[in-house]
Amino acid sequence: MKLREGRLINVSNRLPVEIKNRSGHPRLSRSSGGLATALDSVWRGQHGVWIGWAGAAADSATADTLLQKAARGRSYSFKPVTISRDEVSKFYSGFANEIIWPLFHDMPSRCDFDPEYWEVYQRVNRRFAQVTAEIATAKDVIWAHDYHLMLMGRYLREAGSPAHAGFFLHIPFPAPDIFEKLPWRKSILRALLQYNLLGFQTDRDRYNYLSCLERILPEATASRSDLDNSVVLEGRRTRIGTFPISIAFEEFASHAASHEVESAANQFRHEMTNKFLVLGVDRMDYTKGIPERLKAFRILLRRFPELRHRVTLLQVVVPSREDIPNYKELRREVELLVSQINGEFTEAGWVPIHYMHRSLTRRQLLTYYRAADILLVTSLKDGMNLVAKEFCAAQVEECGVVVLSEFTGAAAELQHGAIVINPYDLTAIAEAIHRACVMPVEEKRSRMRLLRDIVRTYNVQSWADAFLSAASTAEPSVEPKAGREAGGSSPDEDAGIPLIAAGSSHDQRIA
């Protein structure tokens, strides 16, 4: 969708390009991570401005020139927000990644509720809002992304921004018993209601948000109908919807079908000489369940000795957030497990786990997606998991199997084509891998065709269109509609109500 009038002002913590210092000189590079990958492809052709942090090496003079260069050939320009080193440590590493990230992934014991982080989080959110409000007009639509910017809606209102403003949360929203541990829970719930539209990955996240309002902010009233769901606080209405993010299916599929990827995949399979290639691709993050996956693989090799020599796990782990202590410990744990398992099982001509700790090029990634027999996703909690969707797009021969954690957002859409597992149940993961190894080829194909149909139909463009269309029509401020109050309903009453979802419940089964 292209906005008929006005511009799209996209705001995220990071821009899709980053300025890095190389040999003492600032240089442009692409940002990594799910958000940048997903968004950069939908923005092509959309007139507007992308606001965000351009990286630690960006002083304002250099940043402007390099960002102008990066915008050449794009339909939108970049506008940087300056964040000091101290702010990066307390806003980004601190509040966002040592409080909100673990809490929203149901891991409160990993949180460091340092009050200073909260001070800096407010300050940086206010700065993002100021930079945005300076350029936003009433015809523009502001789209803010993710847990770094939950307060920005409030500061946009305070700065008098007239533009429609939507917010999309890329990570899960926790249930009230978890969320209420947050010392600043009310401020965050109130600030989110200053946006005109709130988007979540799954219905479960949206129900959790509504349940948190019901318990913590009962003055907010929710009204529901078959087509819409909104919350009114102090005369301002916010629409709430489910918008499962996706990928640029055709782009992944056609690149995977290219001659260069096909021959690289054939070459790789030839070198591996094994029958079954199991693939894992994740950022080094404790939410991705990497130790659980490795332990499950060890159980597989112990319980099904006939698979030894015939199955290999290729685990790609992309370095992430390396200055946060939890992440350093995780790397040690993962590498110890890899060496223990390889030490226990390796024999002449066969190493059970091939472990890569680095970032791959898109071509390498597609080569592994195409060459693999099984994709293994064992996230303990995951907003969506784009890797699962990318794997399906790249499976042009349609015979790979997806083993998928039930705690990913992707499971809501892909459950009928994937083998769904509980990532805490290591035996069940091992059995699922075994089942995928012995699955008849007809079943593999019918499952993969279903998965590919879903991802092709509900792609990143349809996700962006659905969100933008809802954001640009959300009313800035109206009186409450007649309807039931949030305080008067139980969470169960919400179940099954379809909202403004972009294909949130694809009730399709294997043919």
- Binding footprint of ligand GDG on the chain (CB under 6 A): 33-35, 37-38, 170-171, 245, 281, 283, 316, 318, 359-360, 362, 365, 382-387, 390
Q: Count CA within 13 A, CB hemisphere, residue 215.
A: 15
Q: Tell me the closest approach of the beta carbon of residue 359 to ligand GDG, in angstroms.
A: 4
User: Of the two residues 283 and 447, which places its CB atom closer to ligand GDG in the complex?
Assistant: 283
Tokens of 357: 């700790």
Q: What are the two backbone dihedrals, phi and then psi, of residue 472, each rounded to the nearest 5 degrees?
A: -80, -15
User: Of the two residues 35 and 81, which places its CB atom closer to ligand GDG in the complex?
Assistant: 35
- Cα–Cα distance for residue pair 322/319, rounded to 1 Å: 7
User: Of the two residues 168 and 276, which places its CB atom closer to ligand GDG in the complex?
Assistant: 168
- Cα–Cα distance for residue pair 179/378, rounded to 1 Å: 23
Query: Quick one: CA torsion of 262, 268, 269, 274, rounded to 10 degrees?
Result: -170
Using an 8 Å Cβ cutoff, are 244 and 504 in contact?
A: yes
User: Of the two residues 26 and 383, which places its CB atom closer to ligand GDG in the complex?
Assistant: 383
Using an 8 Å Cβ cutoff, are 285 and 327 in contact?
A: yes
User: Of the two residues 245 and 451, which places its CB atom closer to ligand GDG in the complex?
Assistant: 245
User: Of the two residues 179 and 243, which places its CB atom closer to ligand GDG in the complex?
Assistant: 243
- Cα–Cα distance for residue pair 121/468, rounded to 1 Å: 27
Q: Tell me the closest approach of the beta carbon of residue 257 to ligand GDG, in angstroms.
A: 17
Q: Which residue is nearest to ligand GDG (CB)?
A: 34
Q: Tell me the closest approach of the beta carbon of residue 32 to ligand GDG, in angstroms.
A: 6
Exposure b/e, 227-240, CB count within 10 A at least 16 = b: eebbbbbeebbbbb
Amino acid at position 214, single letter: E
Sign, CA torsion 304/309/310/313: positive
Tokens of 334: 């993962």
User: Of the two residues 121 and 252, which places its CB atom closer to ligand GDG in the complex?
Assistant: 252
User: Of the two residues 220 and 281, which places its CB atom closer to ligand GDG in the complex?
Assistant: 281
- Cα–Cα distance for residue pair 427/300, rounded to 1 Å: 8
User: Of the two residues 313 and 486, which places its CB atom closer to ligand GDG in the complex?
Assistant: 313
- Cα–Cα distance for residue pair 207/242, rounded to 1 Å: 10
Over its C-alpha atoms, the chain yields an Rg (Å, rounded) of 23
Q: Tell me the closest approach of the beta carbon of residue 201 to ligand GDG, in angstroms.
A: 7
User: Of the two residues 171 and 372, which places its CB atom closer to ligand GDG in the complex?
Assistant: 171
Q: Tell me the closest approach of the beta carbon of residue 463 to ligand GDG, in angstroms.
A: 9
Q: Tell me the closest approach of the beta carbon of residue 158 to ligand GDG, in angstroms.
A: 28
Nearest to 94 by CA among 119, 127, 117, 110: 117
User: Of the two residues 70 and 245, which places its CB atom closer to ligand GDG in the complex?
Assistant: 245
Q: Tell me the closest approach of the beta carbon of residue 325 to ligand GDG, in angstroms.
A: 19
| 344 CA to centre of own chain | 35
- Cα–Cα distance for residue pair 372/344, rounded to 1 Å: 24
User: Of the two residues 311 and 365, which places its CB atom closer to ligand GDG in the complex?
Assistant: 365
Long-range contacts of 410-414 (CB under 8 A, 24+ apart): 410/244, 410/377, 410/382, 410/384, 410/385, 412/202, 412/203, 412/204, 412/244, 412/504, 412/505, 413/244, 413/454, 413/458, 413/503, 413/504, 413/505, 413/506, 414/388, 414/389, 414/451, 414/454, 414/455
Q: Tell me the closest approach of the beta carbon of residue 506 to ligand GDG, in angstroms.
A: 17
Nearest to 240 by CA among 220, 260, 266: 220
User: Of the two residues 18 and 431, which places its CB atom closer to ligand GDG in the complex?
Assistant: 18
Using an 8 Å Cβ cutoff, are 206 and 200 in contact?
A: yes
- Cα–Cα distance for residue pair 47/44, rounded to 1 Å: 8
